[in-house]
């Protein structure tokens, strides 16, 4: 049996620390203003996974002393109705952060809806103004999952500066912004995707590998440089329906230097960073 020396990065512990810090800040805001910071989550339709994500966010708000309001809408909601609700929340001074849970029901242009949120309340950091600020190095908010990944690497003592960073996946939510944040931390960044030639050759060069493709246990040890830090963003289901990541944890742990588990790695950090952004939005006023 291979001796396992890899550092398993505890995202739950780090997320708890960040949430505790957010709770202190929320308490301070309550004392100063006589009201708690408030996050408004808008959810439309019947997507079960989305409902679970929203419940997790509500629970995190309660833990942090952040008020949470959830606007639940039917799958038949129109773009005009969504605009109206967002406009109302944009104008409500007691609402600090607004988040529209994606995906929206078919036929609705998500980009148009996100762009309706006031950039100052866009705690997901999906609004084009906030995305632009991240890329120009002048961010107001940081995107939650990518920022959580940077925090996890720092927490694990992984040096990003000068490291060869390979991100697999180029979505607007994960792959592209992780690439931008790693670059801002002075990593040398490659973003790979489904059209990348000889993916194994590319990932084998990675000191830091971020796996964000949505394919259960895709990355085996053949993809990993010995000693690499492996961040698994995937939230997938294995053949038994159990939650797992994009990385074959049991296989990769024998060669990597550090690895995030699924569950308990990136997932809790995403919610913790959302709490941090909500505090930031409240403080910004
Ligand atoms: P997505 O929008 O579906 O994007 C997947 C990306 O992976 C695409 O860029 C695609 O390439 C690439 N890809 C797919 N198969 C590939 C392959 N065989 N080789 C190389 N690249 C491949 O997914 P996403 O929203 O970024 O999410 C990715 C995963 O992270 C999912 O499991 C999701 O559930 C999870 N996630 C977790 C969190 C969290 O908080 N833990 C947050 C967000 C997402 P092309 O662009 O060429 O199609």
For the Cβ of 270 lying below 6 angstroms from any atom of ligand 1, the answer is yes
Residue with CA nearest ligand 1 atom 16: 194
Q: Ramachandran region of residue 266, left (φ > 0), alpha (ψ -120 to 50) or beta?
A: alpha
Residue with CA nearest ligand 1 atom 30: 234
pTM reported for the whole predicted model = 0.97
Task: Check for a shared fold between 33-118 and 143-267.
Answer: yes
Give residues with Cβ within 8 angstroms of 206, minimum separation 6: 164, 165, 166, 190, 224, 225, 228
Domain boundaries, the chain: 33-118, 143-267
For the Cβ of 274 lying below 6 angstroms from any atom of ligand 1, the answer is no
- Annotated active-site residue in 57, 176, 225, 276: 57
* Annotation says 101 is catalytic: yes
For the Cβ of 194 lying below 6 angstroms from any atom of ligand 1, the answer is yes
* Annotation says 283 is catalytic: no
CATH code of the region 143-267: 3.40.50.720
pLDDT at 234: 98
The CATH T-level fold of domain 33-118 is Rossmann fold (3.40.50)
* Annotation says 59 is catalytic: no
pLDDT at 5: 82
CA-193 nearest atom, ligand 1: 21
Residue with CA nearest ligand 1 atom 19: 194
Q: What is the pLDDT along the chain (285 residues), one digit of tens a residue?
A: 556 689 999 999 999 999 999 999 999 999 999 999 999 999 999 999 999 999 999 999 999 999 999 999 999 999 999 999 999 999 999 999 999 999 999 989 999 999 999 999 999 999 999 999 999 999 999 999 999 999 999 999 999 999 999 999 999 999 999 999 999 999 999 999 999 999 999 999 999 999 999 999 999 999 999 999 999 999 999 999 999 999 999 999 999 999 999 999 999 999 999 999 999 999 996
DSSP secondary structure of 28-76: HHHHHHSS--EEEEEEES--HHHHHHHHHHHHHHHHHT-EEEEEEE-TT
pLDDT at 4: 60
- Annotated active-site residue in 38, 89, 96, 101: 101
For the Cβ of 233 lying below 6 angstroms from any atom of ligand 1, the answer is yes
Following CA atoms 185, 170, 211, 161 in sequence, which dihedral angle do they give, to the nearest 10 degrees?
-10
- Of 50, 214, 220, 270, the residue with max ligand 1 atoms within 8 A of its CB, to mutate for a pocket test, comes to 214
Secondary structure in 3-state letters for 157-188 = CCCCCCCEEEEECCCCCCHHHHHHHHHHCCCE
- Annotated active-site residue in 124, 207, 232, 248: 124
3-class secondary structure, 236: strand
């Amino acid at each position: 049996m291979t001796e396992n020396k890899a550092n398993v990065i505890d995202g739950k512990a780090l997320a708890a620390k960040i949430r505790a810090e957010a709770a202190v800040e929320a308490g301070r805001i309550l004392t100063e203003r006589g009201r708690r910071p408030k996050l408004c989550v808008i959810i439309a339709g019947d997507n079960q996974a989305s409902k679970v994500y929203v419940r997790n966010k509500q629970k995190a708000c309660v833990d942090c002393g952040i008020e949470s309001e959830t606007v639940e809408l039917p799958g038949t909601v129109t773009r005009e109705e969504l605009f109206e609700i967002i406009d109302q929340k944009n104008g409500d001074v007691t609402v600090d952060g607004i988040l529209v849970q994606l995906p929206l029901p078919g036929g609705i242009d998500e980009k148009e809806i996100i762009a309706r949120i006031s950039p100052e309340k866009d705690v997901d950091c999906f609004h084009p103004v906030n995305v632009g600020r991240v890329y120009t190095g002048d961010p107001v908010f940081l995107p939650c999952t990518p920022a959580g990944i940077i925090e996890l690497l720092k927490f694990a003592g992984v040096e990003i500066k000068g490291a060869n960073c390979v991100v697999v996946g180029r979505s607007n939510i994960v792959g592209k912004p992780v690439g931008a944040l790693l670059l801002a931390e002075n990593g040398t960044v490659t973003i790979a995707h489904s059209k990348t030639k000889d993916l194994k050759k590319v990932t084998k060069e990675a000191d830091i590998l971020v796996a964000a493709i949505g394919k259960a246990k895709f990355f085996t040890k053949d993809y990993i440089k010995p000693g690499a830090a492996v961040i698994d963003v995937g939230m997938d289901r294995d053949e038994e329906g159990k939650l797992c990541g994009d990385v074959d944890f049991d296989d990769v742990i024998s060669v990597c230097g550090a690895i995030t588990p699924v569950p308990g790695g990136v997932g809790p950090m995403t919610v913790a960073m959302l709490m941090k952004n909500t505090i930031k939005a409240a403080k910004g006023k």
